[in-house]
Structure 1
Amino acid sequence: MSDKLKVEPPTLPSGGWGSVQEVATILLHERVPIKDSRLLMNQNKPDGFACVSCAWAKPAHPHPFEFCESGAKATAWETTSKTIGAEFFARHTVTSLESWSDYALEDQGRLTVPLRWDAATDKYVPIDWDTAFAEIGAALRAAQREQVVFYSSGRASLETSYMYQLFARMYGNNNLPDSSNMCHESTSVGLQKSLGVGVGTVALKDFEHTDCIFFFGQNVGVSSPRMLHQLQDARRRGVPIITFNPLREAGLVSFTNPQSPVEMLTGQETTISTQYHQLKAGGDTAALMGLCKAVLERDDAARARGDQRVVDAAFLLEHTHGFDAFKAAVRACPWPDIEAESGLTRAALEAAAEVYCGAGAVMAVYGMGLTQHRHGVDNVTMLVNFLLLRGNIGKPGAGVCPVRGHSNVQGQRTVGITEKPELAPLDRLAEQYGFEPPRKPGMNTVEACEGILAGKVRAFIGLGGNFIRAVPDTARMEAAWRALPLTVQVSTKLNRNHVIHGKASYVLPCLGRIEIDRQHGIPQAVSIEDSTACMHGSRGMTEPVAPTLLSEPAIVAGLAKATLDPNPRVDWDAWVADYRRIRDAIAVTYPAIFHDFNQRMWTPGGFRKPLGAAERVWHTQSGKAEFTVPRSLRTDPDTESRDPAALRLFTIRSDGQFNTTIYSPDDRFRGIYGSRRVLLMARADMTRRGLAEGDTVDVTTAVSADAPRRVDGLRVVPYDLPEGCAAGYFPECNPLIPVWHHALESKVPAAKSIDVLVRRAGADQPAA
């Protein structure tokens, strides 16, 4: 991958010929055969395969092309004909691979043979499956149970995830951190507190009935482009879309539908956001406080005139608790404080509130721009407060819609991947499988990092993902990672977590979801849960890239059999032989959700798990939806720097990546090509520091009292973002985020707000 920065005006609109060209380019680059490129026609279809990238909903009546640019890239990345086997690793030491970029590592192609690191040669060498399982099992049996971590990335199927959590609990711990800990745990905590359910209440059909959509901190054009179909349809009905985001993102500005011949030929585009408010990074609670204040002031005025109430008084009385305390806090909050912390004017917030008050049914869509803050949970509960004011939970066209990332990150939680024992049906598992599950809370992602840094974690099993690249505090974590006695990675492609490894390291290559998974000659199917809590079946549709690969269920079973004592109630081999038996077991554990699982998994549009809040049934302590008062308007009051030269950094993703997978160095929606080592700054902030476009700067964390944290050699790019803020790419800026800089209650790394100091490369002092 080159590192020659070129900056051009951002590409608008999203979609259009740019997306078509990107899809064609990735298919050619990955050498995807013509026959396999036709797989895209089966992507996200009721009888096809579920996309391996984002978790956006799969409609019952899909478009002819029910895939987006990001999904096509993910499919090409997985179905590539490029492979790497024993000969590749014979040519390269692991140390030499450390200098390769993330892109270069994954671009080598699919892993095809199980590998073990050889300390004498510093190379990965082939190992047969039985030996790999036996050696890993022996190491796990010798380890102390509480010192082993079972991580999952969010891409494994419901079947694999269920087996994995059972393996971990039968082993003896609840150390089941996952990628949700790094992104949407603030959602799980905040929505559970407010509504009694840890996931969103919006279904796909609600987009057809909504009168207004609010967006907070979610980049639809990159993170979930298929949602643009629902947004375009809503806009054609005249539905206003009001966006709060520090950057003007292409997908939230305008869209040309690549599936429309008329739009493609004429260049016709749809304006997505009718109001676009570029608030300060971390200004979300303040902005929501302003919206709520404007609503209450309009309600006061209506009551004074004797007009109909603006708030839904009947709903508030019957269905909510804590409204009076919340109302008092809002009234006591001064507008100047709201404006200062949000970076928005009172007039702007009142304009947004006016639209809200005129809409009968309102949805709120959000992403990690809300969750990855010290007060990320407060951000989520404040959004719920805003919706509750006018009864916008539990009615058609209304509700809260967190947009999940990885394709089954929500589903794996549903089947038991959680470090919180109170969220797992431990008593039922005990009865079903005849063992005593551990009751002690396990480690979440941040706690696993803390344990690794402290030397308290001694083994790490990774079911997918690129953990060491995704977590914060990269430099410190990589140094500590090398001291781990055992690391095991179940993977499809080579990544950073293989070249930064423990003292004993194994790489176990697995089938991808899109590949046909035959057990005893019989093709198997798996299932996933989307962002709207609907379950879908998924069939592999292309031949495996190599005959040496095992499926994820087979790998989990192999590890479990080599590690655990035999249990007559768990027939791992029978489960692997027929995945329907796994689904039958899931239905026994979770009958309310998964009854008749095998019969219902191919329901067009999926079958939805019960969500009380969507029916105005509140599983909270009070039995009602809870208003909560935020701790502070300031996003990080205990970690903000007092240095006036500090900028508030937030991390972003490009359209050339999905999570830690980098497809290219380009970000065409932001006009950045050839390099990801950039720092986006407002021109006024550049001028104050004497910086020009393209200057090279070093960035240090302003609040690192315990250890220095820095990223050197970033190129400055002027960009339209609020003064006092800066943006840089994930995961390149992860070294700047301390492990301890996480959300209160949820412990999500606070990657969307960290104070940093910027200095010219090689300079001793920060630019003032």
Structure 2
Amino acid sequence: MGNGRKSSAYPYASGGWGSVKAVAKILLQEKAPLTDSRVLIHQNKPDGFMCVSCSWAKPASPHPFEFCESGAKATAWDITAKRVTPEFFRVHPVRELLTWHDHDLEEAGRLTEPLRYDTATDRYVPVSWQQAFDAIGAELRRMNPNSVVFYTSGRASLETSYMLQLFARMYGTNNLPDSSNMCHESSSVGLKEAIGVGVGTITLDDFEKTDLMFFFGQNVGTNSPRMLHQLQDARKRGVPIITFNPLREPGLLDFANPQSPADMLRPGDTQISTQYHQVKTGGDTAAILGMCKVVIDADDRAVSAGEPPVIDVDFIRDHTNGYDTFAQYVRDANWDDIVRVSGLERDAIEAAAREYMKANAVIAHYGMGLTQHRMGVQNVRMLCNLLMLRGNVGKPGAGPSPVRGHSNVQGQRTVGITEKPELAPLDQLARQFSFEPPRDKGMNIVEAFEAMLDGKVKAVVNLGGNLVRSVPDRLRTEPAWAHLDLTVNIATKLNRSHLVHGKTSFVLPCLSRIEIDRQASGVQAVSMEDSTACFHGSRGVAEPAAQTIRSEPFIIAGIAKATLAERSSVDWDAWRNDYARVRSEMATTWPEMFHDIERRMWTPGGFPRPLPARERQWKTKSGKAEFMVPDSIGEDPDMPEREPDSLRLMTLRSDSQFNTTIYNHDDRFRGIKGNRMVILMNPSDMAKHGLEHGDRITLQTIAGDDVERCVAGLTVVPFDVPQGCIGGYYPECNPLLPLWHHAKESKVPGAKSIPVRVIRTMAAHAG
């Protein structure tokens, strides 16, 4: 079952001295002065700022240094001493900048002034803020609102997100996609169908009460290392942690706490995973089905023998619907199919199930390894099925735990960023602001780019993010972006989406959350929601990168005022001057959630969002938690029949990146140095394809349509990954992912399961 303690690529514990060195390196790289590097002391503290990267919870009693390696890198990236001034663009035309690597674009530094693209000189040139607002407003007024997309990255605060969704709806559209569409929309759909809420149900307190934790497709060591503190504490209490993940990741094997002198000075470290099962890519439903089969078979035997039941009979009877149908499906399931699709031996699945049956309270953590599949929603529903068998929802120490990868991606949905009108309080907004909101469904990310390819989308207001790089099918979608009539990019740093510009294009530099936000009414604070559905205040501590940049609320208010004019009942100037006014309106829209927010947002540990499922109240159609029978346990039933030598590609992030932001070209944990154009491959598959370490290959997607999708110049690296599965970096491998290859119900791109073939090789010695 693969319980070895070390990874061959990185034979050390995650954290430890490697983490300390990485933090020191990026602070030097960004030329962050000592006074600025001290801002890390305030990171994730009750009176400081919430990390701009991951959304893991802020504890009520924080560590002296409540940040991880990834969070420190994100902070250093924002407080860099490097600047991109108008002089930068006088030296570098856009056609030249398009040849730069993504890392080099962001590494150039912080944007300092509002800019407009000038066609005559092929350069971005400075404009005043009011000129930018007026020009953008004029462009938007002449467009059909449903031809405009308002995108929100997960870094936007609750206040900014609330303002943007209200502006878009007053303008006349529900086209409000966000970064959830790219990752955890499968959770939002699957959890809501299963338990009535679209978010996880655990809090930090549950870590102290749990008896067992599962991990599915979530590389905590890279994506949310602060969580390792809670995992380390749980392991010291003897809590088993069972991991299902295709790659053998050091962050899920061992951890040495870099903030603990004892951990740093002694030779040992904490084993994280007590069982590590390398499930095949796309085999999660089968693996979970196998565990359910062990539990239900054991219960059947117990009932026949007159022994206590294994399942939670009372919970299933009183709180669930559909158990009998699901249980019969499980009994009929064939072990040969489960083993073949999951890639795991039966005894490995049984070992995991035995631990599950011994535990009274179980948390199931998961990430995009479950959600970014054609059957992503089904994966989430199956995980809920497993938890519900033994009543592991709505009790202390138990529940589903989707680990969000962006700092407020969950919160922006809470305050109305959604393309689905049924999820927004439209009637309340209509009463509150005296307008009639649009009732038609808007576009999510996939739908927006499909419409862009068809010429139906004319403009994008891009609040953060780097959509040109992050979306699938880049070789098709990037040219479509360049044909837009208007692109508006609100950002801290330069990225590819700014350079692949529309006919009219603006880059508007905004404050980072780390920076002091001074407005007419005084210094401002913002709020956000973490992965455990708790709300926190956040207050910047660093001086702004330039006096000419503006806050996100200021920019949204300026565009909204210039676009809507007398059509809006909102005093946008008052809102941009005092964010407490925005929070007051949020509390009017959702009184049960945001009442007394000015006080409660500074509660150590945050204040929890009301979640009925935590109290075993089920806001589903039946009024009960819903079991689901899967459509198929196959990895991807709608893709073409696989070829004999085909491989299944999963896209990955390195320890030196956050989403599309690349801090450097190394991946310490996987032993990769100076090159992200690599493919991690099982040695048996290398031999089958006649490949050696260092050979270069081209991958081609097997999609069954008439579009050729290839990525060339990829270097093969042997790695501990299941046979038939390979790994390659995101966003470099995005051209291989068809835009239409997405989760059925949620339309999350299926980036963890792309069928490909090797179509050309070049020997290492020939390159």
Q: Normalising by structure 1, what TM-score? A: 0.98
Matches within 5 A, 1:537-686: 537-567=537-567, 569-686=569-686
Matches within 5 A, 1:218-617: 218-520=218-520, 522-567=522-567, 569-617=569-617
Conserved in 2, the CA contact under 8 Å of 1:700 and 1:757? Answer: yes
1:706-745 CA-to-partner distances (Å, cap 9, x unmatched) read: 3100100000000000000010000000000000000001
Q: Which residue of 2 aligns with 1:140?
A: 140
Q: Which residue of 1 aligns with 2:743?
A: 743
Alpha-carbon offset, residue 704 of structure 1: 4.6
Letter paired with 2:748: V
Letter paired with 2:13: P
Letter paired with 1:127: V
Alpha-carbon offset, residue 500 of structure 1: 1.1
Conserved in 2, the CA contact under 8 Å of 1:93 and 1:123? Answer: yes
1:621-677 CA-to-partner distances (Å, cap 9, x unmatched) read: 111000011110012111144311110100111000000000010111111111000
Supply the distance in 1 between the matched residues of 2:93 and 2:370 (Cα, whole angstroms).
42
Supply the distance in 2 between the matched residues of 1:84 and 1:739 (Cα, whole angstroms).
33
Judging changes above 3 Å, is the alpha-carbon distance between structure 1 residues 502 and 154 closer, same or farther for their aligned structure 2 residues? same
Conserved in 2, the CA contact under 8 Å of 1:695 and 1:760? Answer: no
- The yes-or-no answer on 1:105 pairing with 2:99 is no
Matches within 5 A, 1:56-67: 56-67=56-67
Supply the distance in 1 between the matched residues of 2:501 and 2:184 (Cα, whole angstroms).
27
Supply the distance in 2 between the matched residues of 1:762 and 1:240 (Cα, whole angstroms).
45
Letter paired with 2:314: A
Conserved in 2, the CA contact under 8 Å of 1:468 and 1:497? Answer: yes
Alpha-carbon offset, residue 568 of structure 1: 6.5
Q: Which residue of 1 aligns with 2:3?
A: none
Judging changes above 3 Å, is the alpha-carbon distance between structure 1 residues 696 and 351 closer, same or farther for their aligned structure 2 residues? same
Alpha-carbon offset, residue 407 of structure 1: 0.2
How many percent of aligned residue pairs carry the same amino acid? Answer: 64
Letter paired with 1:117: Y
Supply the distance in 1 between the matched residues of 2:717 and 2:704 (Cα, whole angstroms).
25
Supply the distance in 2 between the matched residues of 1:659 and 1:326 (Cα, whole angstroms).
37
Secondary structure of the 2:566 match is coil
- Compute the RMSD of aligned alpha carbons: 1.1
Alpha-carbon offset, residue 520 of structure 1: 2.0
Alpha-carbon offset, residue 11 of structure 1: 4.5
Q: Which residue of 1 aligns with 2:9?
A: 9
Supply the distance in 2 between the matched residues of 1:93 and 1:641 (Cα, whole angstroms).
46
Conserved in 1, the CA contact under 8 Å of 2:319 and 2:624? Answer: yes
Supply the distance in 1 between the matched residues of 2:411 and 2:497 (Cα, whole angstroms).
24
Q: Any gaps of 5 or more consecutive residues in structure 2?
A: 1-6
Letter paired with 1:252: L
1:240-259 CA-to-partner distances (Å, cap 9, x unmatched) read: 00000000111110000111
Alpha-carbon offset, residue 467 of structure 1: 0.8
Conserved in 2, the CA contact under 8 Å of 1:712 and 1:761? Answer: no
Conserved in 2, the CA contact under 8 Å of 1:434 and 1:569? Answer: yes
Supply the distance in 2 between the matched residues of 1:8 and 1:621 (Cα, whole angstroms).
49
1:150-177 CA-to-partner distances (Å, cap 9, x unmatched) read: 0001101000000000000000000000
Secondary structure of the 1:610 match is coil
Matches within 5 A, 1:717-732: 717-732=717-732
Supply the distance in 1 between the matched residues of 2:50 and 2:534 (Cα, whole angstroms).
12
Q: Any gaps of 5 or more consecutive residues in structure 1?
A: 1-6, 764-768
Secondary structure of the 2:691 match is coil
Secondary structure of the 1:672 match is coil
Alpha-carbon offset, residue 375 of structure 1: 0.6
Alpha-carbon offset, residue 567 of structure 1: 5.0
Conserved in 1, the CA contact under 8 Å of 2:169 and 2:437? Answer: yes
Alpha-carbon offset, residue 8 of structure 1: 8.3
Secondary structure of the 1:756 match is strand
1:109-162 CA-to-partner distances (Å, cap 9, x unmatched) read: 000011111111111111111111111100000011110000001101000000
Conserved in 1, the CA contact under 8 Å of 2:9 and 2:719? Answer: no
1:376-405 CA-to-partner distances (Å, cap 9, x unmatched) read: 000000000000000000110000000001
Alpha-carbon offset, residue 345 of structure 1: 1.0
1:596-619 CA-to-partner distances (Å, cap 9, x unmatched) read: 111111011001110011110000
Alpha-carbon offset, residue 33 of structure 1: 1.0
Secondary structure of the 2:59 match is coil
Q: Which residue of 2 aligns with 1:691?
A: 691
Supply the distance in 2 between the matched residues of 1:23 and 1:356 (Cα, whole angstroms).
38
Supply the distance in 2 between the matched residues of 1:638 and 1:576 (Cα, whole angstroms).
48
Supply the distance in 2 between the matched residues of 1:568 and 1:689 (Cα, whole angstroms).
63
Supply the distance in 2 between the matched residues of 1:456 and 1:761 (Cα, whole angstroms).
40
Alpha-carbon offset, residue 178 of structure 1: 0.3
1:227-251 CA-to-partner distances (Å, cap 9, x unmatched) read: 0000000000000000000001111
Supply the distance in 1 between the matched residues of 2:357 and 2:94 (Cα, whole angstroms).
60
Conserved in 2, the CA contact under 8 Å of 1:262 and 1:268? Answer: no
Letter paired with 2:449: C
Letter paired with 1:37: S
Q: Which residue of 2 aligns with 1:114?
A: 114
Supply the distance in 2 between the matched residues of 1:649 and 1:115 (Cα, whole angstroms).
39
Alpha-carbon offset, residue 504 of structure 1: 1.0
Letter paired with 1:744: K
1:11-53 CA-to-partner distances (Å, cap 9, x unmatched) read: 4210000000000000011011101111111100001100000
Letter paired with 2:502: G
Supply the distance in 1 between the matched residues of 2:692 and 2:222 (Cα, whole angstroms).
28
Conserved in 1, the CA contact under 8 Å of 2:155 and 2:464? Answer: yes
Conserved in 1, the CA contact under 8 Å of 2:521 and 2:577? Answer: no
Letter paired with 1:433: F
Secondary structure of the 1:565 match is helix
1:422-456 CA-to-partner distances (Å, cap 9, x unmatched) read: 00000000000000000000000000110111111
Conserved in 1, the CA contact under 8 Å of 2:642 and 2:755? Answer: no
1:568-623 CA-to-partner distances (Å, cap 9, x unmatched) read: 63111111111111100100011111011111110110011100111100000111
Supply the distance in 1 between the matched residues of 2:267 and 2:101 (Cα, whole angstroms).
37
Alpha-carbon offset, residue 267 of structure 1: 2.8
Q: Which residue of 1 aligns with 2:734?
A: 734
Q: Which residue of 1 aligns with 2:130?
A: 130
Alpha-carbon offset, residue 762 of structure 1: 7.1
Q: Which residue of 2 aligns with 1:91?
A: 91
Alpha-carbon offset, residue 468 of structure 1: 0.8
Conserved in 2, the CA contact under 8 Å of 1:296 and 1:311? Answer: yes
1:179-237 CA-to-partner distances (Å, cap 9, x unmatched) read: 00000000000000000000000111000000000100000000000000000000000
